[in-house]
Structure formats: structure tokens, C-alpha cells
A and B are shown apart, each in its own frame.
Chain A
Amino acid sequence: MSHLEDHEILSIIKNITESERGFRLLIGKYKERLYYHIRRMVLSHDDADDILQNTFIKVFRGINGFEGNSQLFTWLYRIATNETLTFIEQKKRKKTETLDNPDLVLVGSLKADPFFEGGQAEIKLAKALLELPEKQKLVFQMRYYDELSYKEISEILGTSEGALKASYHHAVAKVEQFFKVND
């Protein structure tokens, strides 16, 4: 993993002769965090892999337009989140013709997934998250799993911190309720 600061990586990328090395450093620094952020939303490794690669390709193509108004890290998260939401939307549109609830099928397939090592509790949480509206689910994941601050989530999603706090508390209440009902 790269120990360079974001601004140092950016200046390497913007130097034409070193841009490839800079981009390697950027991928090395953020690949795992972005991968798990995406994976928690789509559950499947193959899907997460595709989305992550597309995310980095978009980052590379748009890096010259990054003006540094936000942190590099939140900019990357925003691209990854948008890519993932677009992917989920497209997948839902394709699958609703044949399946009543594709998300439930996906969660059900976790048991057989060789790249999933969770138990019943983890599957139960995944099912509980399916009950949430997309925005609440995202906020819950960023706060609970990624442990991002409200300020960072606000930069990523472009929503006020107050609204995010409300979304998170609604999400927690619903998940808790799900656990009580399905205990």
C-alpha cells in the first residue's frame, strides 16, 4: 500500500512522464477500500471486480478535471458509488422480467458463494439491508462498515449532514426491528 499523501500522488499523475506510476500508486492505496465498499452493495465478487475496474478507468479519464475542491478519497468514493448504483439499476431492470425479487435470490446465493465466509448473522444483516431504501442503505453501509464521518458521506453523496444523520437513524431502527422480528 502506498504511504504517499493524496496530493503527492496527484502531482505524480499530472506529470506526463510519470502518470502511469502515479496511477499505480493511487490504485494501490485505494483498491481494497473501494472494492469492499462496492462488494457490500452488490455482494458478488465478479460484479464488484467489474465495477471497481470501471471506477478506476473513469478516475483515470477524469483525473485531470479533479480540481481538489474535495478530498481525493471522497471523489473516488463518489465515482465508485455512482458506478455501483448504475450497475444495480441496470441489473434490476434486466432481471425483473424473470425474477420476482432478484436481491433475495442474490442474498440466498451467498451461502454457496466460495468468496463469502459469513454465517447466519451476516446473511441476516444482508437481508435486513435489502428492506431499506437505497439512500438509507448507502448511508448505513458508509457509516457502519466503512466508518466514514458524516462530513465525508456528505461530500460523497452531496447531502447535508443533518439529513444523513436522520437517514442513518431510520436505517438503524429498521435493521434492529428486522432482527427482532426474525430472531
Chain B
Amino acid sequence: MKNLDKNENLEFLKGINKNPFKTPVGYFEGLEKEVLNKLAPPKANIRVVKNTRFNLMSIAASVTLLICSGYLYMKMESSNRENAMVKNETVIKNYLLDRIDEVDYETLYSWNVAEDDVELDGAVIEELDLDQIEPESLIDL
């Protein structure tokens, strides 16, 4: 007992095994490694890059996208054409309505009534006061 005085010797503990503890075989040999492993910073996750060269899913998705784009393009084209036609009709109609003011009503009447009808509806026509009729109504006559 290097640090114990003679009068500190404990007679009643004579024969006691001061180190009755054992460790698993190789415990102390592996301790440094185990502690240093705990101290090491965790390794960064390595990202796995997928090989997409022959990925069937991506090919199918591309084809679907192409078809959808084509369909939408065609739809837009036909819609534009219809819009253009409607626009043309409106322009023609407006043009005609503007012209009505410039053309005399008799001419308009002649555009709308066939020669056969003149005889048939002659009496009625005579009774009409063309000055009182709206230009749009004349077209329907």
C-alpha cells in the first residue's frame, strides 16, 4: 500500500481481493477504437445517381407529353380558325348594317323580295309606310 500509513492498514480486511472484477476478453484492447469511433463525425450520405438512359418510364412520359402537346396545339389552331370566322361574319354584318343607311329602302326591298312575291304581296306592300320601318326589319321582310 504505497500511500497508506501503517496505522491505516485494515486488519479486518486482510485477505480481501482488492480487484475481484474481470472484463470480457479483449475489452481494453478495443476500447480506444470504440471511443474514437464515437468521436468521429458521422459520414455524409453518398447520393446515388440513377441511370436514366434506358428508363422506360421516362420514355413513356416523354411520348405522352409529346402527344398531349400536339393535341393542344391542334385544338388551339381550330379554335383560332373558328374565332377568325366569327370575327369575319361580324365584320360583314356590321358593314352591311352601316351600308343600310346609305342605300334607299326600295333597293333593299328589291334585294329581299323576289319578282313572284311582288304580285302575291303587292297589296300589302303598298300599304307599308317604309319611312316608319327600322332598317334592320327590312332585312327580314
Contact = CB atoms under 8 A, between A and B. Distances in A.
Contacts of B28: 31-32, 35
A143 B48 CA distance: 58
Nearest to B1: A147
A148 B24 CA distance: 27
Interface in B1-38: 1-4, 8, 10, 12-13, 15-24, 27-28, 31-32, 34-36, 38
A66 interface: no
B39 interface: yes
Nearest 7 CB-CB pairings of A with B:
A118-B20, A122-B20, A115-B22, A56-B35, A149-B3, A27-B32, A147-B3
Q: Which of A36, A56, A168 has the most CB of B within 10 A?
A: A56
A175 B10 CA distance: 10
A147 B34 CA distance: 29
27 contacts: A23-B36, A27-B31, A27-B35, A31-B32, A32-B28, A35-B23, A40-B21, A45-B21, A45-B23, A49-B27, A53-B34, A57-B35, A57-B39, A60-B39, A115-B23, A115-B24, A117-B17, A119-B17, A121-B17, A125-B16, A143-B4, A147-B2, A148-B3, A149-B3, A168-B8, A172-B10, A180-B12
Interface string A27-71: 110011001100110000100010011001100100000000000
A28 B32 contact: yes
Interface of A: 20, 23-24, 27-28, 31-32, 35-36, 39-40, 45, 49, 52-53, 56-57, 60, 114-119, 121-122, 125, 143-145, 147-149, 168, 172, 175-176, 179-180
Nearest to A144: B10
B10 A176 contact: yes
Contacts of A32: 28
Nearest to B15: A121
Nearest to B21: A39
Contacts of A125: 13, 16
Contacts of B27: 49
A23 B12 CA distance: 41
Given A20-B36, A27-B35, A60-B39, A36 B19 contact: yes
A60 B17 CA distance: 33
Contacts of A180: 12
Contacts of B12: 175-176, 179-180
A145 B18 contact: yes
Contacts of B31: 27, 31, 52-53
A121 B8 CA distance: 19
A79 B71 CA distance: 76
Contacts of A57: 35, 38-39
